[in-house]
Chains A and B, each alone.
Chain A
């Protein structure tokens, strides 16, 4: 546990009520019901939000730099997070007003009204005697002139970015009603080199692209890395010794082991939500089926038996169902079955083929790659209703969900070039944007929220 909330500060469950109480308000006009006015059709556009530089009570040098400079960096990271969600438009630096330390808890609402910002994030950064940092984070409603919520975080100087992500998560959660996701990591396959001799390495980074590092050295081709729910291990497929196999990699010890012993080719691994099982696709006697294997090793349990190719299993968040793709009807389509393999039924009936289904952590949607000429990312409900295509590229595939089930990351391959990049899109289909990676990137897997 690196972070601990110091203020907890119970997100003031604001009763939506009078901005100014009117105790002696005149009694309602006698006679008849009041007029009823209906406002129909709301505008949907990003919310303007002000994130001024966080002041410090005393400028102190820390391992992460001077607290003065840190205050500016913190507000930049928060601003980048919220802007990246596509739901907010942070004011530009020129529109912001300087904030003094006493103003952090007593904002100058009148001044901020003129900037057009609807919400205001203020905070402070303070160096503690024991070498840690305290970052305070406050969210204000500029029009209602109210504090909405506040939180404080104590972090090691090396983890100052996490304090910013936590602050952005607090704001995002309070204003959108969605779960947090900024304080999370992404694992993906970093690619470099010519088209015929690609070097593929596993890499891990923060959700915004910072703190990037490589896990494997690139000697063997690697594909489809997936986090365990506790982030302590990673499963992936590697072509080590020219044999495609699924391996489990322990993050703490750096040890690697085969998930399924034996000669069979295994691929497309994914953990169950409780971390006890790993779904893999295994080819036995030329027939590819979905199996589940105990995460600690053991005998694979066969779940599908059709003569077609069944692959790409993904558990529902409650662990009771599995979605997978199968070509038993002729082309690839999405199916859902119970966790024990019973009640297999097809859910995708639109035009084209469907692949790589992934169940949302919220349980209400399944993301997939739709193949109809182009490759695009889409979602549908677990019953197959409400199909929606979200991305708009030449070849978009391999969706993965943010921990809150609101954002989807995937990789886009350019037409002809074969160059792949990571992209993300909001569930509403807006704000499609590229995630910066040092080299090319493919096969992203979004990890759970950090503890």
Chain B
């Protein structure tokens, strides 16, 4: 081995050592590669789109005034002054000869009874509103019903003016809460509604689903073969969002192992609607919209 060999071997050893040091440092400084977090997006497959796509025609009439619930003035501070002069409610299309005082009437009696049930002739606190409504029957209310209410309400208003102290304090319903219903069905609602667009339809379906979903409880049926049964109900709603009828259209997925659960599955489906009713849905989408819907109940979570 001559000198050149030794030099060559020395250089080679040095070079390898250097390479080892460089690689070691490289590994220790190595930053682990970051994988891009996949962006997840909820996708809803929708087949229930309206056949015609049309923008809703804006309503030409002034909107009905909605009266906020009257929770009553605090009992401990009744204004000592006499009744405030009645202010007519401004843009009500329905004739309203007896303007209803929007503010709660002061109570001459120092402590009005908080139990309205004790007063035999007192109707629902809401009765004052339809007192002057036209006899034209509302869709879901018979004219007799209104007559009863109006006579009772007149009696009541007389009583109130005579200082009997019958007031709606404490009620969750404003005195005018029936107005919307009465007017919607009495005359003004005869103009054709704007056709419901596909988008509105989808929004409506989502709103219904959102409101009924929390009440769909399987109870004892969870985890049993009953989970295979899909129940379809035909639902008819009243304008106030309550259920007029709920009938089973079909049940699929019934086999030998779960036939005994058929009735119970139908009942939990119906209970879901009844428990979450009345639904709060846009009134302008009632006719041709949520008045009549079909609801499928699929117990199994789609995962």
Interface positions of A (Cβ within 8 A of B): 13-14, 16-22, 25-26, 28-47, 85, 87-88, 118, 141, 143-144, 175-178, 364, 427-430
Residue pairs across A and B with Cβ atoms less than 8 A apart, 13 shown, are A16-B247, A18-B246, A19-B274, A22-B245, A35-B293, A37-B208, A42-B216, A47-B217, A87-B220, A88-B219, A88-B220, A175-B219, A177-B261
Q: A19-B243, A143-B274, A176-B264 given as contacts; is B217 within 8 A of A29 (CB)?
A: no
- Which residues on B sit within 8 Å (CB–CB) of A16? 246-248, 263, 266-267, 269-270
Complex Cα gap A72–B292 (Å) = 46
Which residue in B204, B245, B270, B287 is a CB contact (below 8 Å) of A35?
B204
Q: Which 4 A-B pairs have the closest CB atoms?
A: A44-B222, A428-B223, A41-B301, A87-B220
- Which residues on A sit within 8 Å (CB–CB) of B147? none
Which residue in A26, A36, A85 is a CB contact (below 8 Å) of B294?
A36
Q: A17-B247, A39-B209 given as contacts; is B220 within 8 A of A47 (CB)?
A: yes
* Cβ B270 vs Cβ A144 within 8 A: yes
- Which residues on B sit within 8 Å (CB–CB) of A176? 219-221, 264
- Which residues on A sit within 8 Å (CB–CB) of B268? 42
Complex Cα gap A36–B202 (Å) = 10
* Cβ A28 vs Cβ B275 within 8 A: no
Complex Cα gap A22–B300 (Å) = 32
Complex Cα gap A43–B301 (Å) = 9
Q: Quick check: is B291 within 8 A (CB to CB) of the other chain?
A: yes
- Which residues on A sit within 8 Å (CB–CB) of B290? 35
* Cβ A42 vs Cβ B217 within 8 A: yes
* Cβ B245 vs Cβ A17 within 8 A: yes
* Cβ A28 vs Cβ B300 within 8 A: no
* Cβ B212 vs Cβ A37 within 8 A: yes
Q: Quick check: is B278 within 8 A (CB to CB) of the other chain?
A: no
Which residue in B217, B260, B262, B296 is a CB contact (below 8 Å) of A37?
B296
- What is the size, in residues, of chain B's interface with A at 8 Å between Cβ atoms? 60
Nearest residue, chain A, Cβ from B248: A16
Which residue in A18, A32, A141, A177 is a CB contact (below 8 Å) of B226?
A177
CB distance from B43 to the nearest CB of A (A): 15
Which residue in A13, A29, A41 is a CB contact (below 8 Å) of B299?
A41
* Cβ B205 vs Cβ A35 within 8 A: yes
- Which residues on B sit within 8 Å (CB–CB) of A29? 287-289, 291-292
Complex Cα gap A22–B243 (Å) = 10
Complex Cα gap A302–B302 (Å) = 50
* Cβ B298 vs Cβ A39 within 8 A: yes
Q: Quick check: is B201 within 8 A (CB to CB) of the other chain?
A: yes
Complex Cα gap A29–B300 (Å) = 32
Which residue in B208, B223, B291 is a CB contact (below 8 Å) of A28?
B291
- Which residues on A sit within 8 Å (CB–CB) of B160? none
Complex Cα gap A38–B263 (Å) = 19
Nearest residue, chain B, Cβ from A33: B294
Nearest residue, chain A, Cβ from B222: A44
CB distance from B299 to the nearest CB of A (A): 5
Which residue in A17, A36, A175 is a CB contact (below 8 Å) of B220?
A175
B265-288 contacts to A (CB < 8 Å): 266-272, 274-275, 287-288
CB distance from A10 to the nearest CB of B (A): 14
